[in-house]
Chains A and B, each alone.
Chain A
């Protein structure tokens, strides 16, 4: 048997072994299937970042027709007026107990001031413990009040020239949260498994002591680690296919505007990249629990530096630099480019190149540490 066919045979039996072991682990398999189907379905259908029926209370001290008119403009779908409040104390209580998200206070004399054409004011108290929703509630409410003020002022006068804004929404014409959330969640799941699975597979060998058995056999460190990454890549690609063709397209109509084979090829590359980080963690950890905690430590910055939750432009400058060290940052560009925008691979080339460089560095570091650890 020549050297090459021997090398391939060794790689093949290791690859088969990894897949078999994963296949026997019912709990892990069930978890993988759950993550790629139910979890993504829930994220796409359930999580919404839009303001819906924010519970609003009105403390109307003025009791004028103007104040009633203003309060009546807080309408569904954004707002829902749940009731009136007697005094400040009740307003405080409603806000701190969480019954109210927004409290509108109209002071005495509001209607008269308006009628006289004099400046006047109202108070808006917003619960912004959820920063996104709070921000939306505050700005929508502001718009409503401003518009009310403008209309009252204009009433009975000749209309001023008005600029009408015509917005064109690209790539997600109905601005469906489910597309963004579904794809984001898919990318998160891919990331988690591509770090966790190879790390777990490598640490299990360490824990059981089988790693020594492999080290005394004529295998190189690359032949030990590579099959783990390859087999887990296959599993994750299968999961991705499941998520795309059984959940995202049929249930939510995600368009997949670009080349699907290109998406899978780049996903494979991404899994390979992230697996390097997982293997690095496995060389440090002594057991499965430690590996689990280390991967969380790796995943957390990888996810929030990626731009999935906060665009890099919104980060402090020094932190934004680090987004370039998260492979997910590039993969998000690639995935949204391919799935929603229908970009060609050529256009995404810089992202692909950077991601590849990062992955090779991590994989090489993991291999080096493994080699040093086990001679």
Chain B
């Protein structure tokens, strides 16, 4: 019998009338980094709290270290062997205490002997590179550092199992990678078992095994390759000549078609790469043709979406009209930022930001928290007056004719600012009235928004009762109710499941390509940056890169080399070998290694020397670009 750390059978929990989770059966082995992946409200937190012994459950069984967690006394006895880090940045820490005082407090709370506590503290602060900040109050740490401190405090009593609830949510991509690296090191060096949840699909590769959760159920469970095998298939992408037509042709045959900037990406179930590419080529040739074909294996997110599509109806919101795309080159500038700057006292939030977004273009503004994205958007929408510089919306100056600008822009803020105590149609009518639409227009636009968001059946439901995906589409509808020519979206997809996110991007695609609306999007999901035609990367209030996603990746490949994945039984043991050989860009992903290096032949040769290792090239992602660029900039700023 294998040494299970956590076992559950038919686990269920309800809050009042709402069933949060039901029928969860899963098992976590000792020494394993196990992931719970799912969007907000999937039931991850309920399960994790029950595992940590801080939440009673209603049905099924749950055993931790072979102890039945339903009995209070028993649950109390295993708590000493468990460390829990709750959701939220620094939620379990004390803001006014310093880094060291926080660690000491948790050591005392857990009755760790002084000598042992000191030893562990030094080691953990060293591993997490917090040792230089030991006197700094917790509230002055960055998000990533707070989470690392949280991890130290969770580990100070040397638990055998740690339960981390969304440790990377709200943390910028650079710190996220850092966190995973540290966690992987600790798990392997201390023989820990870890149960970790995340809402980011692209973090799935970090886990040895995982469970995909959705609406309180487990959709699939196992190693990444086992889950991928559930929906075998390939991914084909290309740059079509007529994107809207080609998309319609593909969507008629395949459920998962995405527009990524000028490209189309389609998941072809069951076929291998060559066959899939052939099938897609035939379809697109009949719809205008395409160039730059590329194919690869499906990602976990494709499989997740395919699994979800099996469990509920596909969220395809209407079909694109066959109107030709707006001619890209001749399009007029819709948003112009001209040397925008904003200071708050001595702090420079945004400095000298200039960019142009054309009609029908999707423009992405990327950056870590605090890089100045939201401030830039607020200045362009007239919420915040700039300290210097200015901007034009559809040729109209923001400073001079704010009223005129306001009626031409739509704005969708973080967290979908809807009135939750109003119904769907009341929300839409409110905004229609605020924009001064006539009675007839109001009725027509109400209908249009309900249709676009697929909410006709829910028109009289309170917004609070909608799931996040529908809330998001309602918020988009409210922002579009007055037919704006320019749409600002500030982190529009936080907390929405992958299916909802894809449906949302479909709507944005149609808006830009068919209606010629200019879109400015900020996002911290780096995978979403791929949807944009054009990107600007912000760092410390400045724009440090401004190009298409393809050009950014090409530039990184030029500078740092290509990305390779090393897989095989002995892959973790290969990392020190690489380090000895002077290859630095190595990161641990579950049982595999990702290596960024310029000399692929040398890497293959090194791996060949180990035996049993496979090396294969992987496409660079926008996250790779972002992380490497920001690291370089941070190094520069540090000097």
Chain A residues packing against B (C-beta within 8 Å): 1, 6, 9-10, 12-14, 17, 20-21, 24-25, 208-219, 374-375
Contacts and interface: CB of A to CB of B under 8 A. Distances in A.
A120 to B, nearest CB: 67
B422 A17 contact: yes
14 contacts: A9-B436, A10-B433, A13-B430, A20-B421, A24-B421, A210-B418, A212-B417, A213-B411, A215-B383, A216-B381, A216-B409, A218-B406, A374-B383, A375-B384
A190 to B, nearest CB: 25
- Which among B383, B409, B438 has the highest number of chain A CB atoms within 10 Å? B383
Interface string B576-617: 000000000000000000000000000000000000000000
Given A10-B433, A213-B417, A375-B385, 15 more contacts: A1-B436, A6-B436, A12-B433, A13-B430, A14-B434, A21-B419, A209-B415, A210-B418, A210-B419, A211-B417, A213-B478, A214-B434, A215-B383, A216-B409, A216-B411
A12 B478 CA distance: 18
B421 A218 contact: no
B420 A208 contact: yes
Closest 6 pairs between A and B when the two form their complex, measured CB to CB: A13-B433, A209-B417, A6-B436, A216-B411, A210-B417, A24-B421
A208 B417 contact: yes
B465 to A, nearest CB: 12
Interface in B417-464: 417-422, 426, 429-431, 433-436, 438, 462
Contact of B421 (A6, A25, A215, A375): A25
A217 B383 contact: no
A375 B382 CA distance: 8
A212 B382 contact: no
Contacts of A9: 433, 436
Interface string B455-480: 00000001000000000000000100
Interface in B560-576: none
Interface residues of B, number: 31
Contacts of A374: 383
Contacts of A17: 419, 422, 426, 430
- Which among B417, B431, B438 has the highest number of chain A CB atoms within 10 Å? B417
A13 B434 contact: yes
Given A210-B419, A375-B385, A218 B436 contact: yes
B638 interface: no
A375 B383 contact: yes
A14 B429 CA distance: 11
Nearest to A220: B403
Nearest to B488: A216
A20 B417 contact: no
Contacts of B435: 217-218
Interface string B371-415: 000000010011111000000000000000001001101010111
Contact of B413 (A1, A213, A217): A213
A13 B446 CA distance: 15
Chain B contact residues: over half helix, strand or loop, or mixed? loop
- Which among A1, A17, A214, A219 has the highest number of chain B CB atoms within 10 Å? A17
Contacts, number: 76
Given A6-B436, A20-B426, A212-B413, A218 B407 contact: yes
Contacts of B403: 218
A1 B437 CA distance: 8
Contacts of B438: 1
A17 B420 CA distance: 12
A24 B421 CA distance: 6
Nearest to A211: B417
A263 B487 CA distance: 50
A64 B403 CA distance: 93
A212 B421 contact: no
A219 B413 contact: no
A216 B383 contact: yes
Contact of A219 (B419, B421, B422, B434): B434
A279 B413 CA distance: 24
B421 A21 contact: yes
A120 B395 CA distance: 100
A216 B406 contact: yes
Nearest to A25: B421
B406 A217 contact: yes
- Which among A10, A212, A219, A374 has the highest number of chain B CB atoms within 10 Å? A212
Nearest to A217: B434
Given A212-B411, A216-B383, A218-B435, A13 B406 contact: no
B325 to A, nearest CB: 28
B258 to A, nearest CB: 28
Nearest to B411: A216
B415 A20 contact: no
A24 B381 CA distance: 31
Interface string B283-300: 000000000000000000
- Which among B384, B385, B422, B434 has the highest number of chain A CB atoms within 10 Å? B434
Nearest to A214: B434
Contacts of A216: 381-383, 406, 409, 411
Contacts of B462: 24
B202 to A, nearest CB: 27
Interface in B101-120: none
Given A17-B422, A212-B411, A375-B385, A217 B417 contact: no
B553 to A, nearest CB: 34
Nearest to A218: B406
A14 B420 CA distance: 15
Nearest to B431: A217
Contacts of B419: 17, 21, 208, 210
A10 B436 CA distance: 7
Nearest to A5: B436
A367 B409 CA distance: 25
Contacts of B422: 17, 20-21, 24
Contacts of B407: 218
Interface in B341-382: 378, 381-382
Interface in B469-522: 478
Interface string B512-555: 00000000000000000000000000000000000000000000
Contact of A13 (B414, B420, B429): B429
A12 B430 CA distance: 10
A21 B422 CA distance: 7
- Which among A10, A213, A214 has the highest number of chain B CB atoms within 10 Å? A213
Given A17-B419, A20-B422, A216-B409, A10 B434 contact: yes
Contacts of A14: 430, 434
A89 to B, nearest CB: 51
A160 to B, nearest CB: 76
Interface in B51-76: none
Contacts of A25: 421
Contacts of B433: 9-10, 12-13
Contacts of A375: 382-385
A90 to B, nearest CB: 53
Nearest to B475: A213
Contacts of A10: 433-434, 436
Nearest to A14: B434
Nearest to B408: A218
A349 B422 CA distance: 42
A17 B428 CA distance: 11
A214 B415 CA distance: 15
B434 A212 contact: no
A24 B419 CA distance: 11
A315 to B, nearest CB: 40
Contacts of B434: 10, 13-14, 214, 217-219
Contacts of B436: 1, 6, 9-10, 218
A247 B627 CA distance: 68
Interface in B164-178: none
A243 B65 CA distance: 63
A24 B431 CA distance: 19
Contacts of B426: 17, 20
A219 B384 CA distance: 15
